[in-house]
Chains A and B, each alone.
Chain A
Amino acid sequence: MVAPVAVVGALFIVYPLVKLTMDAFTQGDGGFSNFAAVFESAAIRNSLVNTIVMSLVVTVLCVVMGASISWSIARARSAAFKALLWAALLLPFWMGVVVKAYAWSIIFAKNGILNSVLDQAGVIDEPMTLLYTRLAVVVGMTYTMLPYAVLAMNPTMSRFEPEFLNSARSLGSSRTAAMVRVWLPIVAPGLIAAAAIVFAISIGFYVTPVLLGGAETPFMATMIGDDIFAFFNYPRAAASSVLLLVLALVVLGTALKAVGSKALKGGIAG
């Protein structure tokens, strides 16, 4: 079984990545010139900042919300309730990313559900602009990435024994101190693994920022798409792609070093 897997991996993963990296350094004027072109463009710089900042926000939201969901699942007594929580979490996971984005665009539209509910409740006088904003992108991405976060932290979270908290409390610790000094150190590897996975996937988002963020809040992937399909500037697209790849690898590598491969693998394998 190992040989075919290695061949497939080499053919469809290693070769394209090596070729991409070589293209980034050899096409056009070669060397670092394509990377210089990436950073010379104010539009790409803007999209890089956009990508990183919004992915960070999504990561924080996913880890915080994921931890509470994961905790609830671990602590749920009834099997039916547990199954319901998993189903609620994984349903959006199975929906296409385009379907999810369109669902949010219906909710966020000027004459959409959210605005009309708030209007009828008398909360707002004028419909708010929600669609084609950074907020819409963050919500849409968080919705997409939350299942990944929970799946990634679930192994560590479910191994945490609630008895530890009781022990800490009975030894005189406050509830907060018990969470920070007992719970957090034990589940930290799971949280870090979840954060790394969510961030690494988030920086590659394309469809959600296009459909919910519109033309003026581009992600790096949007700019790479521009370069390939609109401006036919393949060398610069290759350089931008390598940049994203390196960023994702650095984040995953750092996380791997911090928590060990077990936590990351546990996250991916569930």
Chain B
Amino acid sequence: MTHPPRKLLAAAACALALTASACGSDTDSGSGSDGSVKLTIASWGDPFTSATREHLVKPFTEETGYEVDIVDAPGKFVANLEAQTQANNVEWDLLDSTSGPDAYIAHDRGLIATMPDDVKERLLEELPEDAVTDFGISWSVLGYVGACNAEAVDTCPTDTAGLFDTEEFPGSRTSISTSPLVNLSMAEIANGVTIDELPTHEIDLDRAFETLTEFQDASGAWWSSGDQNLQVFESGEAELGISYSGRAYGLIDSGTPVEVIWQDGLYNPGFWNVTEGSDNPDEAWEFVEWIASHPENAAAWAEALGYSVPNPESFDFIDEKTAKTLADFPENREKLGLMNYAWYVENYEEVNKRWQEFLRG
């Protein structure tokens, strides 16, 4: 008989059991059992969660005495909120940096709360007008920019149109696989739509997908996460393409000689939202107002993560080298366009269907 040694088998069985239990669900949390206020924030996991806890939650708790919990649900805000709402058991009060498209969808589906008028009034005293929406404030802003490995290609393009011009600028391309709106908006810019027109431009789907098909023919890889964004450039699968702004500078720091192309990129805000069905909406909005009115804390948060924050005063506290890499730095901001989220919400199903067929069909 030749069986593997018993210990090996036991360890193998243990590995199997661990794999199974690691699929367990997120821990839940309700409001304070003793009647005190307890807020629960859904966030993105480390380093995001740590930065939010350290620079925003801790000082907020010291000032207000509210207990604040953070749970990690990266990329799952809308899906989990939908489940929580259906079960009539909304466990979260606040969402930390919901992506733009998700925030508009979540508001459209009644999953996140509409901002009370008095809150909006006070927020507008602190923040620029386009940072305050009906359902939250923009936060952890990124640019979708061009990144081009200067060592791998002869000439790097200088704007978005060049990124899509595969004849003038040959080289294997990359872009984000999980956001149809980003790709369609970029394609429309390449087709001549200006960044000023973009926020209200209704995307011509046939034309945009035709442009994207040419782009796909030159594609070396699509990325679906920030880490993969780095990896496709570092491993040489992609020579140029669309990148998160923060990751593009990360590539430079780790030794890949990329040029960062801001011209005609996209301004991509995340949002702080309060959930519809939160047990403590007043306190949750209080938290949103607190971070909007504490630019120094916001600056520390931005420096820790390399994501931008909307309060102009924050830039007084951010060192210049970091500031220049952020989407709200005035020189960068003026080169970026806003996407037409309202159009996306209206055409959500058709856009996603066509995107999925385009990418995976």
Contacts and interface: CB of A to CB of B under 8 A. Distances in A.
B2 A270 contact: no
B178 A230 contact: yes
Interface residues of A, number: 46
A43 B2 contact: no
B59 to A, nearest CB: 32
A158 B5 contact: no
Interface string A73-98: 11010000011001100100110010
Interface stretch (B26-34, B75-83, B185-193, B333-341): B75-83
Interface in A209-259: 210, 214-216, 218, 222-223, 226, 228-232, 234
A242 B2 CA distance: 38
A53 B304 CA distance: 46
Interface string A162-174: 0000000000000
A120 interface: no
Contacts of B15: 93-94
Given A127-B236, A229-B75, A132 B221 contact: yes
Interface stretch (B128-136, B198-206, B349-357): B349-357
Nearest to B15: A94
Contacts of B221: 131-132, 214-215
A132 to B, nearest CB: 5
Contact of B235 (A131, A154, A215): A131
Given A83-B5, A131-B237, A232 B79 contact: yes
A261 interface: no
B177 interface: yes
A143 to B, nearest CB: 15
B162 interface: no
Contact of B352 (A110, A214, A230): A230
A68 interface: no
Contact of A110 (B3, B78, B236): B236
B231 interface: yes
B224 interface: yes
B222 A229 contact: no
A109 B235 contact: yes
A78 to B, nearest CB: 12
Contacts of A230: 178, 352
B110 to A, nearest CB: 13
Contact of B224 (A127, A158, A215): A215
A47 B357 CA distance: 11
Contact of A215 (B2, B105, B352, B360): B360
Contacts of B359: 43, 215-216
Nearest to A237: B79
Contacts of A228: 79
A142 interface: no
A154 B237 contact: no
Given A42-B357, A73-B2, A90-B4, A229 B231 contact: no
B101 to A, nearest CB: 10
B47 interface: no
A234 B80 CA distance: 11
A132 B216 CA distance: 14
Contacts of B78: 232
Nearest to A86: B4
Interface in B11-33: 11-12, 15, 19
B361 interface: yes
B222 A215 contact: yes
Interface in A104-122: 105-106, 109-112
Nearest to B111: A232
B2 A223 contact: no
A215 B79 CA distance: 21
A26 interface: no
Interface of A: 41-43, 46-47, 73-74, 76, 82-83, 86-87, 90, 93-94, 97, 105-106, 109-112, 127, 129, 131-132, 147, 151, 154, 158-159, 210, 214-216, 218, 222-223, 226, 228-232, 234, 270
12 contacts: A41-B356, A42-B357, A43-B356, A46-B360, A74-B2, A111-B236, A112-B235, A131-B221, A154-B3, A214-B177, A222-B360, A226-B356
Please provide the 8 A-B residue pairs with the shortest distance between their CB atoms, ordered closest to farther. A110-B236, A109-B235, A215-B177, A215-B222, A43-B360, A111-B236, A158-B2, A42-B361
